[in-house]
């Protein structure tokens, strides 16, 4: 069986691009979203390009669903050698108006689900780790992983926590041969959301002023290919004109 790249949160932009990139590299791309119907265009595109892809409807916040997903993939499709966790949950709100329910949900989506998926995949990876085997877990972070902006208390709290999770996992699992990386995507990405809600920012696309999802995916592929004597743990990506 071919090795598997599991992409949690394979949306229309970054997650989908990661799935396509690993499929081009010979991996079986397993993509998840809460709605299986929304995955169909991505799966069809990968297959049309000669790749292998499978889609799964899964709520990444539900432990029983995550356990079942990993078991199904490992037992029927192949070993998961790459996990890309790509759930965002970027929902701004004033701290004066934020509800406890929404704050908790954002944490569940952007952090807790990262723990669940990372734990389950790591449990499989450690049983087959070795110097000749590349196994990688990548967590997608954001500007909010480093600093909390006004109106983004919930998102920043969750992304800070995801970064801490990645650091802890890297220190525990790295010596066991599993590459754990955290990427900070510091800038607007070429998505429908940016195009519709931030037209001035989207206009910078012609000047390479927003991130191309395919180029983010190329960076993830590079992380997975790194030799273990020179692993990158944290990688930040931003357009050349972005302030930081």
220 vs 27: CA distance, rounded Å: 14
| pLDDT reading at 1 higher than 80 | no
Distance between CA 141 and CA 114 in Å, rounded? 11
> Exposure of 76 by Cβ count < 10 A (0-12 exposed, 13-18 middle, 19+ buried)?
exposed
pLDDT the model gives residue 244? 79
Token code pair at residue 30: 């397993």
Q: Record the tokens describing residue 192, joined without a space.
A: 């429908």
Question: In the predicted model, what is the mean pLDDT of residues 5-31?
Answer: 96
- Percent of the chain at pLDDT exceeding 90: 87
> 209-236 burial, b if ≥16 CB within 10 A, otherwise e?
bbbbbeebbebbbebbeeeeeeeeebbb
Confidence (pLDDT) at 185:
94
pLDDT given for residue 92 in this prediction = 84
- Region 44-54: mean pLDDT is 97
Percent of the chain with pLDDT over 70: 100
Q: Is the dihedral of CA 17, 20, 26, 31 positive or negative?
A: positive
Sign of the torsion angle spanned by Cα atoms 163, 224, 57, 194: positive
Compute the average pLDDT of residues 42-60.
Answer: 96
Does pLDDT of 129 surpass 80? no
pLDDT at 197: 83
Confidence of residue 193 (pLDDT cuts 50, 70, 90): confident
- Compute the distance between CA of residue 242 and CA of residue 244 in angstroms, rounded to an integer: 7
N- to C-terminal Cα separation, the chain = 44
The set of residues, in sequence order, having a beta carbon less than 8 Å from that of 66 and lying 6+ positions away, is: 58, 60, 113, 116, 117, 120
Place of tokens 């993939």: 73
Which tens digit of pLDDT belongs to each residue from 80-119?
999 999 998 888 899 999 999 999 999 999 999 999 999 9
Give the tens place of pLDDT for each residue, 195-225.
988 899 999 999 999 999 999 999 999 999 9
Q: How confident is the model at residue 130 (pLDDT cuts 50, 70, 90)?
A: confident
Per the CATH hierarchy, to which homologous superfamily does domain 4-237 belong? NAD(P)-binding Rossmann-like Domain (3.40.50.720)
What residue segments make up the domains of the chain, in order of their start? 4-237
Lowest mean pLDDT among 12-26, 46-60, 83-97, 168-182: 83-97
Which of residues 11 and 236 earns the better pLDDT score? 236
The helix (run of H) or strand (run of E) holding residue 213 is: helix 213-225
Give, for 156, the enclosing helix (H) or strand (E).
helix 153-173
């Amino acid at each position: 069986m071919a090795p598997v790249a599991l992409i949690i949160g394979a949306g229309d932009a970054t997650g989908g691009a990661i799935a396509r990139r690993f499929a081009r590299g010979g991996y079986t791309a397993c993509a998840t979203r809460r709605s299986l119907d929304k995955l169909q265009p991505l799966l069809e595109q990968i297959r049309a390009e000669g790749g292998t892809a499978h889609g799964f409807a899964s709520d990444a916040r539900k432990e029983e669903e995550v356990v079942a997903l990993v078991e199904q993939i490992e037992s029927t499709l192949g070993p998961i050698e790459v996990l890309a966790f790509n759930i965002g949950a970027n929902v701004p709100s004033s701290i004066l108006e934020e509800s406890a329910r929404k704050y908790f949900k954002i944490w569940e989506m952007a952090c807790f689900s990262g723990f669940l998926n990372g734990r389950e995949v790591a449990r499989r990876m450690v049983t087959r780790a070795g110097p000749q085997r590349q196994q990688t877990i990548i967590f997608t972070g954001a500007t909010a992983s480093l600093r909390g902006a006004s109106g983004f208390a919930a998102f920043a709290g969750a992304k800070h926590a995801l970064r801490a999770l990645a650091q802890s996992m890297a220190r525990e699992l790295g010596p066991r041969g599993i590459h754990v990386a955290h990427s900070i995507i510091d800038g607007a990405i070429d998505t429908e959301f940016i195009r519709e809600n931030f037209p001035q920012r989207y206009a910078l696309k012609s000047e390479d002023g927003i991130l191309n999802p395919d180029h983010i995916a190329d960076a993830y592929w590079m992380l997975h290919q790194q030799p273990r004597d020179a692993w990158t743990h944290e990688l930040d990506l931003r357009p050349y004109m972005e302030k930081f």
